[in-house]
Structure formats: structure tokens, C-alpha cells
Amino acid sequence: MAGLPIRQEVKMNKRRNMVILMCIILAGIVCGTLARLSSEREGTWAVVEVDGNEQARLYLDQDTEIRVGDEKQGYNVVRVRDGKVFVSEADCPDQICVREGGKSKNNEVIACLPHKMIITVHSEAEEAGQKTDAYTW
């Protein structure tokens, strides 16, 4: 490059800077899109816990069915259908968890006191736009 006139060298540098800048912007767009896609994937999920221990994490955009516990200690069948999580079957005496129905909103809870089971719905997007922090009842 030593042979080039000064003015031309400056021009080349400018072009190179432009290319680098474009690359950075492009990389930014790609990273941003990827991050958004992956967070949308994580959108809404339900955590199933028994006696404080996490048993499963179910994404609500995917229909599934799991069974927690056993015939001896008592069991709950947890299902995901049409973006909602619910207990379809359980051998607890009060059946409150089954009657609770489907849940899909951030912080909604299904509890089975006899089996010490809790299902909590988490949604990052909803949490950000939430109007209230808690409910009193």
C-alpha cells in the first residue's frame, strides 16, 4: 500500500471501515433475531414440583402428558393440551387439582395439597407486561 497516493489510501480505509461496520450491524441483527426466537420458544412453561423438588418443566406449546408419584404415595397425571396445563387424573381424596382446570397465565398455580404437588405457570413476556404483582383473596 506504500505505493498508493495518500488520498487513495484514505478512501480504501474508509471503505474497509464501512465493511467492518456493516458486518457488525449484520451480526447484531442475526444475534438479536436468534435471541428473540429462542425466547419465544421459551415463552410459557409450567414447572411441576412435588414436595419442593422439581419433577418436570413442560412447555405449553407442546402437547404432553406425564405422571408424577405412584399408586403407593399417590399420583397426578399432568397434561398439556392447546396451550394449557391441567391435571387430568389423580387419586387424591379431594380432587381439587383436577377440578382446577387448565392454566396458561403467568403465576397461575394448580396445587394438590394431599400429594404436596404444585404446578406453576411461568411466562416471561407476560411478567414484563403485568399490571399487578400479586392478588389478595
Partner 1 sequence: MRIHVRKYAALFTLALLLSGCAGRTELQKYEKQMLYFDTVISISFYAGENGDRLMEHCVQMCSGYEKIFSRTDGASELYAVNHRTEQKVKVSPEIAELVTAGLEYYEKSAGRFDITVAPLSDLWDFKSETPSVPADEEVKEAAAAVDASKVHLEGDRLVFDSEQTMLDLGALAKGYAADRLKEYLESEGVRSGLIDLGGNILTIGTRPDGEKWRIGIQKPFAGRGETAEVVEIADQTVVSSGTYERYFEKDGKLYHHILDPDTGYPADTDIQSISVICDSSLMGDAVSTTCLALGSQKAEELIRGLEGVRAVMILEDGETIHVEKDGDGGTAHTAGSEDE
Cβ neighbours of 9 (radius 10 Å): 13
The pair phi, psi for residue 9, each rounded to 5°, is -60, -45
30 binds partner 1 (CB under 8 A): no
Residue 30 vs 102, nearer CB to partner 1: 102
Give the burial class of 59: count Cβ atoms within 10 A of its Cβ; 0-12 exposed, 13-18 middle, 19 or more buried.
middle
111 binds partner 1 (CB under 8 A): yes
128 binds partner 1 (CB under 8 A): no
CB 58 within 8 A of CB 48: yes
Stretches 38-46, 63-71, 74-82, 87-95: which one binds partner 1 (CB under 8 A)?
87-95
Q: Annotate each residue in 89-108 with x if it binds partner 1 (CB under 8 A) or - if it does not, as one string.
A: ----xxx---------x--x
Q: How far apart are the C-alpha atoms of 119 and 125, rounded to whole Å? A: 19
Residues that bind partner 1 in the complex, under the rule CB under 8 A = 49, 52, 93-95, 105, 108-109, 111, 113, 116, 118, 120, 131-137
